[in-house]
Structure 1
Amino acid sequence: MDPVKDSRFFFDLKRKFEVILEEVEKKTFDQKDEIRELESLWEEMFELAGKNDSPYFQIRLKNLKKQLETFVKNKGYEKQEFDRIYHQLGKMKQNDSVEFLDESLRNRLERIAQKHYSPGDMISSEVVATSKKGKYYITFRCGTIYFITDWSSYTVLKDLDRRKNTVEYKGSVYRIFPSAFVYGLSEEEYRNENFLTMNLLVLKRESGLEFYRFDTLGEILQINEGTFLKGLKPIESSEMDKRIRNYFRKAGIRYYYIPV
């Protein structure tokens, strides 16, 4: 991993995204090919942000994706639709590329920020005292169930056998959470090899790796830790895996909390 090289490549992709968007704006006919290319560029940028452990850019990109999806759904080739996308692109500034620095250096910057700035003050990297802005949490959906857990750097493994409850990774065997029973697969579905694939979210904890099956990665949320803990509600022990004791509700969605 080369954070400097990745940072340059990220902003090259961003500029290409802007150029293609400008071409779409100039034309009035169907833009399926260009839209697909915009979506492909977004995926590359999001992958780079994830690889370099940058929740700052992941949040920016999630907001950009929402605008792009609304744009495509509404076929909204009007100036205000383009303005919303340009606005999200404008929030990703090259002088914020410090977010691609390695984790240890970012932690040092955070300590410096907390020492020399009052809570809520920002330096050029937008490092903010955590007591003011809160912790990061990552969300994902598995089947019809939503989960939330403390954020950490991660890797995504794709197209694995959905029926498996363990995975071999770099010479070690790990349990997968939640188990395959979360899908309630029928016998017919178990025999359908094309249906039976899954993605795994590999979170890199201080205690080691954790593996979570998912269908969709959700937002990376930044929530004050006290607010989050107060918002946790207990669940019945029989309702979910014994590891899950609480849920957190946001925007009408119940997220089951996976403690570290």
Structure 2
Amino acid sequence: MLRIRLGRLGIAFAAVVAVTALAVGLWLATPLGPDARAVEALAPGDGISVAHTDWGWEFWPSSSEPATGVVIYPGGRVDPRSYAPLARGLAQAGYRAIIVKMPANLAVLAPNAADCAIEAHPKIQRWAIVGHSLGGAMAAAHVAQRPGRYAALVLLAAYPPSSTDLSQTRIAVVALAGNRDTVLDTGAFEAARSRLPRSSLVATVEGANHAQWGSYGRQRGDSQAAIPPEVQEAIAVDAVRRALGDVPRDEKTP
């Protein structure tokens, strides 16, 4: 009788594991985005070239070869193509923007994924990295492991993991969080200031939410943004330019 009960328990446990694995598989196989705006931004044209590579998607101005590259780490379980509008905006600003693919759309599985993209462009000596949400946490961890490689780090609704301390590093950091963002742990975001360089710019963006740093539609638990997605993306582009020192002092923020 005991053997029968143990056998039934084993079957039940195996069934639970199988169902859980299936649920996780389906969750990972259905990432957020891209929305229609992102799909449209993937098309080359209007002076912007676009290429799909083994490591992701690249955007750059067709008329010139950028001297600065910007790597983009997507948010957790977000299709990387969802950041095409942001990458396109960076290309229009004169940069080579590279959206990096992540295994299972989770940057935590490949925090150093940017290495391949950078190694493919040895002529580019100045790099910045932008990370959204989980992608921002992993971008910060990556920067800590590659001292001196990046001139700037931009965190969008993101902060360094508790194990990552950038406070003594010489890198320009901009960290932005929207006041309409109800996904971000704002307490953890504020607490993470001590792990950033003292010169870092940490700011609240009025009207911005969590999802509009990308272009993948509404996100569960997030609030409706009070500014258009184009404005929020322009603020992100401006943050990169300011972190790199490429914005004149008299130029206003979007």
Please report the TM-score for the alignment, with normalisation by the length of structure 1: 0.26
Relative to total residues, which structure has the larger strand share, 1 or 2?
1
Please report the TM-score for the alignment, with normalisation by the length of structure 2: 0.27
